[in-house]
Amino acid sequence: MSFLLSEYQELLGTIEKSGRIPCGVLEFFEAGPDDKSGSKLVLRHDVDRLADRAVTMAELEKAAGVSSTYYFRCTRDGRFPAKQIELVANLGHETGYHYECLSAMKGDRGAALSAFERNLSNLRQIAPCSTVAMHGAPLSRFHNQELLVGRDLGEFDLKADASLSFATIELAYFTDTGGRWNASAAENFRDRVGLSRGWSPPPSANEFPTWLRSYRNPVYISTHPERWNSSPGKYAFALCKDIAISRVKRAIKLFRSVST
């Protein structure tokens, strides 16, 4: 898959034909325990940058009758892309916080928690936020997910974490982290969700539609809207960027393995 928006639109069509019920993270957990069946397909989007592309993807989903979850990063001083968040929320999608406080605060948990609460409050002044998702921050040695491990999410008036809350659920997880579906550990340091067992064809594979109809557990697809483009030229630029970033990630992983 070349990560063109036209191909994402085709993917949405494949999901519809499979009989799956696409939903956001909050909607998945708001359903009763008996409703977390293989009919569910979670759609999540981590908006690292280029927030306008999230709006474009949200509009495409709205036209297809699909709702999903968009997680937005903020600046170090807690400023979010308010205009784009409002547009996405007004299209009927869930909005959430894409947190990276532990890496931003260089491992200082106290400062990280304070920043987390401040940023969460800032986001809620723009749109509702009931779930959160960590940012991988591959250049940092601090894993942002660890900030909320063992914490009661209710303390922050949250219903779920997009990774932690799925930890005991058997599902098939697909992510475009690393510039391709389910990249290797050398390109995808930390983006993993749920209990995955057995082989699953990526959404770009010819076998995917048949597999999707036969798979009996929930499916979870995570994308980064900045990676999805409307033209081959823009895709080529994004691809070159992904290749460069992947090389940096490999170098970092090698350095860390030698240093430990």
CA distances from 70 to 84, 86, 170 (A): 11, 11, 23
d(CA 205, CA 215): 15
- Please report where in the chains the tokens 């690393």 appear, as a residue: 178
Domain segments of the chain: what residues?
5-259
What is the pLDDT, as a whole number, of residue 235?
53
Select from 165, 110, 111 the least CA-distant residue to 134: 165
Strand bridging mode 172-175 / 160-161: unpaired
**For helices 5-18 and 51-63, what crossing angle results, to 10°?**
40
What is the pLDDT, as a whole number, of residue 128?
98
Q: Which CATH architecture has domain 5-259?
A: Alpha-Beta Barrel (3.20)
Whole-angstrom Cα Rg for the chain:
18
Do 213 and 19 contact (CB within 8 A), yes or no?
yes
Residue by residue, DSSP assigns 102-160 as: HHHTTT-HHHHHHHHHHHHHHHHTTS---EEEE---TTSSS-GGGGTTT--GGGGT-SE
- E-strand stretches of the chain: 21-23, 40-47, 69-72, 94-99, 131-134, 160-161, 172-175, 219-223
What is the pLDDT, as a whole number, of residue 193?
80
φ, ψ dihedrals at 77, nearest 5°: -95, 15
- Which own/partner pairs from 110-117 qualify as long-range (CB within 8 Å, at least 24 positions apart)? 112/147, 113/147, 115/78, 116/147, 116/156, 117/156
d(CA 159, CA 257): 36
What is the pLDDT, as a whole number, of residue 54?
98
What is the pLDDT, as a whole number, of residue 31?
79
d(CA 177, CA 164): 18
φ, ψ dihedrals at 164, nearest 5°: -55, -40
Three-class SS of residue 172? strand
Mean pLDDT for back-to-back runs of 10 residues, the chain (260 residues):
86 94 95 67 96 97 97 96 98 98 96 98 98 87 93 97 94 88 61 74 92 93 93 57 50 48
What is the pLDDT, as a whole number, of residue 195?
80
Predicted TM-score of the model (pTM): 0.87
The Cα angle at residue 224 between residues 51 and 115, in degrees rounded to 5: 65
What is the pLDDT, as a whole number, of residue 125?
98
- Please report where in the chains the tokens 């063992």 appear, as a residue: 150
